[in-house]
Structure 1
Amino acid sequence: MAFIYRRVVRLADTDAAGVVYFSRILEMCHEAYEAALADAGIDIGEMLRNGAVLLPIVRAEADYLQPLTYGQDLIISLRPQSIDETEFALSYEVTFLPARLAVRAQTRHVCVHSRQKWRMSLPESLARWLLRAAAESSL
């Protein structure tokens, strides 16, 4: 089951032609990711303040199927997927009402130690979140 995040396109999201600027879509997807973590009870801020764990994006891609414009109500659905013990992917679909698919996007994240910069296992809370998502998607 996907996590659903709702958002309205703001003026700051658009370019001079009134269309959402391409990089803003990935920022909106990242907002959905943060909301999904909070909904799951994962305090990403605590992980960052703790200082040992970083979760950088190592790959981002998006397919733009329809333009998005100021004032549109967006629904961003997010599906997390575990890749291995150090890496995960997030798939997004951005639709606007009435149910028109506008963007498909994906980001890949790697867990690294903040000081040594080597890969490390995902924090337990994040690994559990990914396991729950896998179990729900197989239903």
Structure 2
Amino acid sequence: MPFTYQRTVRFQDTDAAGVAYFANILSMCHEAYEASLGAAGINLNQFFCYPRIAIPITHSTIDFMRPLFCGDDIKIYTTPKQIKDGEFEVAYEIYVIEVVDRGVKEVQESCAARAFTKHVCIDSAARVRTFIPDEVMKWLVKWGDANQIAAMETDLLL
């Protein structure tokens, strides 16, 4: 089940054309990532400021389906997935929330963008790859893809 993060596109997120600047969309995705870590019980200060294991982003990509404007209310659905022992990716789906009045008010969501970030775990002191920390594994289980989680649990039982 993905983590859901809500926010409003702010003026500071937009460019001279009045649409959200592409790099700011990735920043919004990172906000959602941070919120999902916190919601899983991870201490963000220790995670980002004093880590034994650092988890840098090694790749990111974003595809846009429609522009985002100042004042748009959005939801970012965040779904992490383990790739290897020391790597995971996070998929983000950014939806605009609109209230449509056709005699009856309805809330509609339309996909504005999809993004991915790939993360690698490294030992902070030795600067070499290492395994995903236990607290991050718990986060993967909490917010990850249910099919992948079932496979991970089966592997643990074997």
- 1:130: how far off? 1.3
- 1:114: how far off? 1.5
The alignment covers a number of residue pairs equal to 138
Tell me which amino acid in the other structure corresponds to 2:40: A
What is the CA–CA distance in structure 1 between the aligned matches of 2:47 and 2:112, rounded to whole Å? 33
For structure 2, which runs of at least 5 residues remain unmatched after alignment? Answer: 98-107, 151-158
- In our comparison, the structure showing a higher alpha carbon Rg is 2
For structure 1, which runs of at least 5 residues remain unmatched after alignment? Answer: none
2:115 matched residue in structure 1 = 105
- 1:29 and 2:38 aligned: no
- Give the TM-score normalised by structure 2: 0.82
What is the CA–CA distance in structure 2 between the aligned matches of 1:17 and 1:36, rounded to whole Å? 31
What is the CA–CA distance in structure 1 between the aligned matches of 2:34 and 2:51, rounded to whole Å? 18
2:43 matched residue in structure 1 = 43
2:88 matched residue in structure 1 = 88
- 1:28: how far off? 0.1
Identity %: 40
- 1:122 and 2:132 aligned: yes
- Give the TM-score normalised by structure 1: 0.93
What is the CA–CA distance in structure 2 between the aligned matches of 1:85 and 1:11, rounded to whole Å? 40
The 1:4–1:51 alpha-carbon spacing in structure 2 relative to 1, beyond 3 Å, is closer
User: Is the partner of 1:37 in helix, strand or coil?
Assistant: helix
Q: CA RMSD in A?
A: 1.5
Are the counterparts in 2 of residues 19 and 69 from structure 1 also a CA contact under 8 Å? yes
Per-residue deviation, residues 54-77 of structure 1 (Å, max 9, x unmatched): 110001000011000000000000
